[in-house]
A = this chain, B = another copy of it.
Amino acid sequence: MSWSTRDTHFDKDLVTTNGNKYMIGNGYMGYRGTLEEFGKEQLVAVTLAGLYDKAGDKWREPVNAPNGLYTSIACDGEDLTVLDSEVASHVQELDIRSAVHCRETVYNLPEGGLLTFSAERFASLDNQHLLVSRLSIHSTRDCRIVIETGIDGKVWDINGPHLFELQEQLEKDVLITSAITGELKIPVVVAEQAVFSFGEQQIDEGKALRRISVEVRAGETYEWYKYVAVYTGLDALNAGDTPTPIEAAVHAVRSAQAQGYAVLLNNHRQLWEDRWSHSDVIIEGDEEAQFALRYSIYQLLIIAPAESEKVSIPARGLSGQVYKGAVFWDTEMFMLPFFLHSDPGIARNLMMYRIHTLDGARRKAAEYGFLGAFYAWESQDTGDDACTLFNVNDVFTGRPMRTFFRDKQVHISADVVHGIWQYVQFTGDDSLLLDGGAEVVWECARFFYSYAYYNSVKERYEILDVTGPDEYHERVNNNAFTNALVKETLEIAMRTAELLKEKYPEAYRDLSAQFSAGPYLAEFEAMLDSFYVPQPDPESLIIEQFDRYHKLEEVTLAELKSRVINKHEYWGGGNGLATTTTILKQADIVLMLNLFKHSFTKAVKKANWEFYEPRTEHGSSLSPCIYALVAADIGSPDWGYPYFMRTATVDLTGVSKQYVGDLYIGGTHPAANGGAWMAAVLGFAGLYFDGETVHIHPSLPKQWQSVELPVVLRGGSFRLHISRDEVTVSAAASNREDLAFTIQDGQPELCHPGAQLRLRLEAASV
Q: List A residues at the B interface (Cβ < 8 Å).
A: 369, 371, 389-390, 394, 396-397, 399, 401-402, 449-450, 452-457, 462, 464-465, 475, 477, 519, 523, 527, 547, 563, 565, 573-577, 579-580
Residue among A449, A456, A519, A577 with the most chain B CB within 10 A?
Answer: A456
Q: Are A575 and B399 in touch, CB under 8 angstroms?
A: yes
9 A-B pairs with C-beta separation under 8 A: A371-B457, A397-B565, A397-B575, A452-B456, A453-B455, A456-B527, A457-B519, A464-B465, A465-B465
- For residue A398, which residue of chain B has the nearest CB? B565
A151–B456 Cα distance when bound, in Å, is 59
Q: Are A456 and B449 in touch, CB under 8 angstroms?
A: yes
Q: How far is the CB of A522 from chain B (nearest CB, A)?
A: 11
Q: A397 — which chain B residues lie within 8 A by C-beta?
A: 396, 565, 575
Q: Are A456 and B402 in touch, CB under 8 angstroms?
A: no
A450–B453 Cα distance when bound, in Å, is 13
Q: Are A402 and B575 in touch, CB under 8 angstroms?
A: yes
A261–B452 Cα distance when bound, in Å, is 71
* Total copies of the chain: 2
- For residue A399, which residue of chain B has the nearest CB? B575
Given contacts A401-B575, A402-B575, A402-B580, 14 further A-B contacts (CB under 8 A): A369-B547, A394-B575, A396-B396, A402-B579, A449-B457, A453-B455, A453-B464, A457-B519, A464-B464, A465-B465, A465-B477, A475-B475, A573-B575, A574-B575
> Which of the residues B369, B390, B462 comes within 8 Å of A453, measured between beta carbons?
B462
Q: A401 — which chain B residues lie within 8 A by C-beta?
A: 575
Q: A575 — which chain B residues lie within 8 A by C-beta?
A: 394, 397, 399, 401-402, 573-575
Q: Are B457 and A450 in touch, CB under 8 angstroms?
A: yes
Q: How far is the CB of A566 from chain B (nearest CB, A)?
A: 9
A462–B369 Cα distance when bound, in Å, is 14
- For residue A453, which residue of chain B has the nearest CB? B453
Residue among A402, A477, A527, A577 with the most chain B CB within 10 A?
Answer: A402
Q: How far is the CB of A335 from chain B (nearest CB, A)?
A: 34
Q: A456 — which chain B residues lie within 8 A by C-beta?
A: 449-450, 452, 454, 519, 523, 527
- For residue A389, which residue of chain B has the nearest CB? B580
A399–B475 Cα distance when bound, in Å, is 21
Q: A369 — which chain B residues lie within 8 A by C-beta?
A: 547
- For residue A461, which residue of chain B has the nearest CB? B456
Q: How far is the CB of A106 from chain B (nearest CB, A)?
A: 53
Q: A573 — which chain B residues lie within 8 A by C-beta?
A: 574-575
- For residue A368, which residue of chain B has the nearest CB? B548
Residue among A401, A457, A523, A527 with the most chain B CB within 10 A?
Answer: A457
Q: A523 — which chain B residues lie within 8 A by C-beta?
A: 456
Q: A389 — which chain B residues lie within 8 A by C-beta?
A: 580
Q: How far is the CB of A569 from chain B (nearest CB, A)?
A: 8
Q: A396 — which chain B residues lie within 8 A by C-beta?
A: 396-397
Q: How far is the CB of A574 from chain B (nearest CB, A)?
A: 3
